[in-house]
Amino acid sequence: MPASPVRPATSVTVLGLGAMGTAPADALLAAGHPVTVWNRSPARADGLVARGAKRADSAAEAVAASALVIVCVTDYDIANTILADASTAGGADLWADRTLVNLTSDTPERAREAAAWAAKRDIAYLDGAIMVPASVVGTANGLVLYSGSRAAFEAHGATLRVFGPNTPFLGEDHGLAAVYDLGMLDFFYTSLAGLTHAFGVVGADGVSAGEFLPFANIIFGILPNIMTGMAASIDAGAHPGDQGNLIMEATGIDHILTAAKARGLDVGVLEAVKHLTDRTIARGHGSDGFTATIETIRNP
């Protein structure tokens, strides 16, 4: 049986060469894809060009060079300007038979607006969210979320997996990648704030962050099971407090607040949590579990 012909690597254009734009371009080059790059500050492309990328003199020229176009810039205002300018300069046929993948972070509303812009021009559009640091893009731990055109994802999935094997397609609502992005980063940043505050509390009594870390890791280790139960409770709309009710937990938060204030620490993070629990208790959820606070979060 004759060997199957080797399909040529997909040519890809990358618009925007900050840290998060350069990382995908580098990963594509490393995987053997022909890559065309463009940035508003041309010097940003020098390193990629030295590694084999082709520099375009304009965004329109860059779009014209590849069937798959990736834009990754600071926000949608910049992305929209670049795409509009490229379309104006390149003419009505610039986007014919092209797929646009927008890896710019912003809100779900902005993603859906961009999708509407693309639909008016018959552009196959995917919205995406890079969920790892730039240094992790292109490794086995790379994680990029996608939503939007299922056909575009299926057509270019092999190329997009160059950024990492974790490339879930979340659905055809273009805003879903941004929704998940917001949720994951909400959890990430508030968790970092809590851990940093904990280091501050123990540090005030002479315990170093390194000394405390193994004990913080014990808490981290039990979180997966706790999170599973919380998700089930919230989806069911039931908040059993048999393992610990909200009044008991609010009392524990009070103890930490008292100690932190006595040590002259900033307590803004803890006060926000206490305010949330107190309002939820006032609504009659004192005997419920912590997930009852979702009712206050949803209806402040």
Q: Give me the residues of the chain with pLDDT under 70, please.
A: 1-8
Place of tokens 């206490």: 274
Q: Sign of the CA dihedral 132, 197, 106, 298?
A: positive
Place of tokens 């990358």: 14
Place of tokens 């008016």: 120
Give the Å distances, CA to CA, from 150 to 79, 105, 124, 170, 193.
Answer: 22, 20, 9, 9, 37
Burial class from Cβ neighbours inside 10 Å (0-12, 13-18, 19+) for residue 174 reads buried
Phi and psi at residue 79, to the nearest 5°: -60, -45
User: What is the tens place of the pLDDT at every residue in 129-148?
Assistant: 999 999 999 999 999 999 99
Q: What is the pLDDT of residue 2?
A: 45
Q: What is the pLDDT of residue 1?
A: 45
Q: What is the pLDDT of residue 90?
A: 85
Rounded Cα distance between 146 and 112, Å, is: 13
Rounded Cα distance between 108 and 111, Å, is: 5
Q: What is the pLDDT of residue 7?
A: 56
Q: Which residues pair with 145 in a beta bridge?
A: 129
User: What is the tens place of the pLDDT at every residue in 28-39?
Assistant: 999 999 999 999
Q: Which domains does the chain have, with CATH numbers?
A: 12-172 (3.40.50.720), 204-298 (1.10.1040.10)
Give the Å distances, CA to CA, from 139 to 23, 27, 30, 143.
Answer: 11, 8, 11, 9
